[in-house]
Structure 1
Amino acid sequence: MNIAIIFAGGSGQRMNTRSKPKQFLDVHGKPVIIYTLEIFQEHKDIDGIVLVCIESWIEYTKKLINKYNLTKVLDVIPGGKSGQESIFLGLKTAYEKYDKESIVLIHDGVRPLINDGVITNCLDCVKQNGNAITISPAIETIFRKSEDGTVGDIFKRSDCELAKAPQCFYLKDIYNAHIRSQKENKCDFIDSASMMQYYGNKLYTVEGPAENIKITTPSDFYIFRAIMDARENLQILGF
Structure 2
Amino acid sequence: MTSAIIVAGGKGLRMKEMVRKQYLLLAGRPILSHTLAVFDQCDAIDKIFLVAPAEDFDFCRKNLLGSFHFEKKITLVPGGAERQYSVYNGLMAVSDKKSIVVIHDGVRPFVRHDQITACIESAKEHGACILGMPAFDTLKQVNSSGEIEKTLEREVIWLAQTPQAFQYDIIVSAHEAAAREGYIGTDDASLAERMGQKVKIITGSRNNIKITTQEDLRLAGIIMEKRLL
TM category, shorter: over 0.9
Question: Matched residue of 1:80: which SS?
Answer: coil
Q: Give 2:181's match in structure 1, choosing from 184, 187, 212.
A: 184
Deviation per CA, 1:63-120: give whole Å up to 9, x if none.
22132122324310110111111111111111xxx21111011000001111011011
Could you tell me the percent identity over the aligned residues?
36
Residue 67 (1) aligns with residue 67 (2): yes
In the alignment, structure 1 segments of 5+ residues that lack a partner are 235-239
Which residue number corresponds to residue 207 of structure 1?
203
Deviation per CA, 1:136-195: give whole Å up to 9, x if none.
121211121124432122122222110110111011211121122222222x21111111
- Give the distance between the partners of 1:83 and 1:159, measured in 2 at CA: 27
Which residue number corresponds to residue 148 of structure 2?
151
Which residue number corresponds to residue 78 of structure 2?
78
- Give the distance between the partners of 1:122 and 1:24, measured in 2 at CA: 26
Q: Give 2:172's match in structure 1, choosing from 172, 175, 189.
A: 175
User: TM-score, structure 2 length as denominator?
Assistant: 0.95
- Give the distance between the partners of 2:71 and 2:78, measured in 1 at CA: 19
- Give the distance between the partners of 2:131 and 2:201, measured in 1 at CA: 6
Residue 31 (1) aligns with residue 27 (2): no
Question: Matched residue of 1:199: which SS?
Answer: coil
Which residue number corresponds to residue 161 of structure 2?
164
- Give the distance between the partners of 1:150 and 1:21, measured in 2 at CA: 34
In the alignment, structure 2 segments of 5+ residues that lack a partner are none
- Give the distance between the partners of 2:188 and 2:100, measured in 1 at CA: 14
Question: Matched residue of 2:69: which SS?
Answer: coil
Spell out the pairing of 1:86-235 with structure 2 (5 A cutoff): 86-94=86-94, 98-186=95-183, 188-232=184-228, 234=229
Which residue number corresponds to residue 15 of structure 1?
15
User: TM-score, structure 1 length as denominator?
Assistant: 0.92
Deviation per CA, 1:35-67: give whole Å up to 9, x if none.
101110001110010000022211111122132
- Give the distance between the partners of 2:163 and 2:144, measured in 1 at CA: 33
Question: Matched residue of 1:139: which SS?
Answer: coil
Which residue number corresponds to residue 43 of structure 1?
42
Question: Matched residue of 1:67: which SS?
Answer: coil
Calculate the aligned-residue CA RMSD, in Å.
1.2
- Give the distance between the partners of 1:60 and 1:149, measured in 2 at CA: 42
Corresponding residue pairs, total? 228
Structure 1 segments, 4+ long, off by >3 Å, are none
- Whichever residue aligns with residue 199 of structure 1, its letter is M
- Whichever residue aligns with residue 216 of structure 2, its letter is D
- Whichever residue aligns with residue 56 of structure 2, its letter is W
Please tell me whether the aligned partners of residues 111 and 215 of structure 1 are also in contact (alpha carbons under 8 angstroms).
Answer: yes
